[in-house]
Chains A and B, each alone.
Chain A
């Protein structure tokens, strides 16, 4: 096989796998920068995936995307009500939200599609090649011949960066995450900001779920997120709460998964479970290496 095509294919797969992670992690960065750690991300992604499935089946892929974002935001609002409004512990609340989401999506899915729901055909989002850019050798196919959510993910990176570091809102958000009591003394409405940041994060998670179903896998299965939401949280730490770093972290993860496909294509025989484990182990390794130089938002979790 032509090595250039091989590498291009590998990169394209890596980017495709990375997209939902990048979306979820970007949303979580906003949330965590305001001082809230959202372990319900996994549940919100799953809910988004199911909402996308149902919306796409009914009205088409983009409606599916919209439904997914709304689903994520609704769950995030519930989480914010408890964790920010009632000041309940964020970790446990987040875990509860995920549990609830797993239960709800499972129930709704079975009810809507019966017990033999697998193998549905749902309208998906196909790759859209950007003219000109997609002809660049190797990188072109990897970055510019992808389904729409990938472009959304790539665009959201500089956008989020700009809001965080170049606007008043971003300053207030960061102040809330680094010193909420002090921020309040300066007149910042911290509860409002945290709630808003959480809901935005939930919207991103829903979008991530939509991209998983509509742009990557093509169908829905129960529990299909398989921990991606939690991995997104790890990527946030890896990327040091910075949009650029997160993109790289997500790509790392995508690459590890894509490696599996690459090696299969090359005919190397290795137990596939090893590759399933690899991304998680790599993340742990990177966390250990990264944490020494990393500083979380000072008021995260409080």
Chain B
């Protein structure tokens, strides 16, 4: 349970830094932090409609990133994959009027996951065929996705009046059911279920074990385990992309019901922090996702009620990442994190 202690320390330190920073910048830190708390946990409504709603995409993306990470690959393109999923979900969602609800939702989510998968296929192919490190390629595609969204909402997917840069709302049947009386949607079930399924896969199956082995020792996995390390790594990335795309679909089907720019307030990067803080453990990621959801929900309240820019919360996230990172350094692995990350800068095929 040392991991838990580190996690708590990380968050505590992050909040402390925020406190000091706010005071230094001339804001009222106590007002800010209390607005943060109230915005996240102050009431049942705050908890479900703000915190949990924001937690869902973070949990999903965090899970996806942790799968990739376990396989020894780093997916920094979750933002782009999210948007790819959102675009597909919107397009499909607009066509599903009149379909039975379960079918419509299933089709929409499937399309979203597929789109996320397609979005990460290019970096995977570049890595396998040309040795391009996935860190750069996934990163660059984020920007392409952003431009694509902009293009879509001002072009093919623009709403009928052609005035606003957003799409028409998707069909009623394609929307995720809500918890009565709040804005919390069934996507939460997906997120938690995903965590449980991955937990089982990692802990009890050969597949999960192989993934872990490849992440911690790709060479030994190949030579002694006769595992195709490249293939496993590629598969981990593909799954990661699909889950991120799914997150985009859930965002459209459960929250926004339409596509517009800035649908994601940086989920792809926050998801990184979520995965790290959760120690790459699926249940840890779920809890960590809720925590970060709370942070972001609180940030909104902080801006509204105390006049502090919401982006300040990024500082907390950065501190959390750094502390989580430092936790991995002394022992060479919170869960072998250091060994995993060391393998990823592989030079391209060397001419010898």
Contacts and interface: CB of A to CB of B under 8 A. Distances in A.
A and B touch in their complex, CB below 8 angstroms: yes
B342 A231 contact: no
Contact of B342 (A89, A93, A111, A295): A89
Interface in A228-278: 230-231, 233-234, 237, 271, 273-274, 276-277
Interface stretch (B98-106, B130-138, B207-215): B130-138
Contact of A292 (B74, B130, B144, B328): B130
Contacts of B321: 92, 95-96, 99
B236 interface: no
Given A277-B144, A302-B342, A96 B326 contact: no
A273 B154 CA distance: 10
In this complex, the member of B129, B309, B317, B338 whose beta carbon has the largest number of chain A beta carbons within 10 angstroms is B309
Contact of B315 (A107, A273, A300): A107
Contact of B132 (A92, A99, A288, A297): A288
Contact of A82 (B132, B141, B313, B325): B325
Given A89-B341, A104-B315, A107-B25, A227 B325 contact: no
A118 interface: no
A97 interface: yes
B315 A291 contact: no
Interface stretch (A64-72, A141-149, A211-219, A279-287): A279-287
Contacts of A302: 342, 345
Contact of B130 (A99, A100, A227, A291): A291
Contact of A110 (B151, B309, B315): B309
A301 B347 CA distance: 10
Contacts of B313: 103
B135 A288 contact: no
Contacts of B318: 96-97, 99-100, 103
A273 B325 contact: no
A238 to B, nearest CB: 10
A100 B322 CA distance: 10
B76 interface: yes
Nearest to B126: A288
Contact of A89 (B309, B314, B325): B325
In this complex, the member of A100, A226, A234 whose beta carbon has the largest number of chain B beta carbons within 10 angstroms is A100
B136 A301 contact: no
B309 A287 contact: no
B136 A230 contact: yes
A186 B220 CA distance: 30
B350 interface: yes
Contacts of A300: 345, 347
Contact of A102 (B27, B150, B154, B311): B311
A187 B27 CA distance: 50
A273 B147 contact: yes
Give the size category of A's interface with B. Answer: 35 or more
B350 A295 contact: yes
Nearest to A112: B25
A96 B322 contact: yes
B143 interface: yes
A302 B343 CA distance: 8
Contact of A287 (B126, B150, B325): B126
A37 B341 contact: no
Contacts of A108: 25
A91 interface: yes
Contacts, number: 162
A88 interface: yes
Contact of A280 (B144, B269, B349): B144
Contacts of A103: 311-315, 317-318
B140 interface: yes
B156 to A, nearest CB: 10
Nearest to B319: A100
B53 to A, nearest CB: 22
A230 B139 contact: yes
A274 B348 contact: no
B348 A291 contact: yes
In this complex, the member of A93, A103, A104 whose beta carbon has the largest number of chain B beta carbons within 10 angstroms is A103
Interface string B322-352: 1001101100000001100110110111110
B276 interface: yes
Interface in B291-325: 308-309, 311-315, 317-319, 321-322, 325
Nearest to B341: A89
B58 to A, nearest CB: 14
Contact of A106 (B314, B317, B347): B314
B181 interface: no
Contact of A234 (B136, B151, B326, B328): B136
A222 B265 CA distance: 14
Interface in B248-302: 269, 272-273, 276
Interface of B: 21, 25-27, 74, 76, 122, 126, 129-132, 135-137, 139-144, 147-148, 150-151, 154-155, 269, 272-273, 276, 308-309, 311-315, 317-319, 321-322, 325-326, 328-329, 337-338, 341-342, 344-345, 347-351
8 contacts: A91-B344, A100-B314, A233-B136, A274-B151, A277-B143, A284-B132, A292-B131, A292-B349
Given A96-B318, A292-B348, 13 more contacts: A87-B329, A95-B321, A96-B273, A99-B321, A100-B318, A226-B143, A274-B147, A276-B147, A277-B147, A280-B140, A293-B351, A301-B344, A302-B345
Interface of A: 37, 39, 82, 86-93, 95-97, 99-100, 102-104, 106-108, 110-111, 222, 226-227, 230-231, 233-234, 237, 271, 273-274, 276-277, 280-281, 283-284, 287-289, 291-298, 300-302
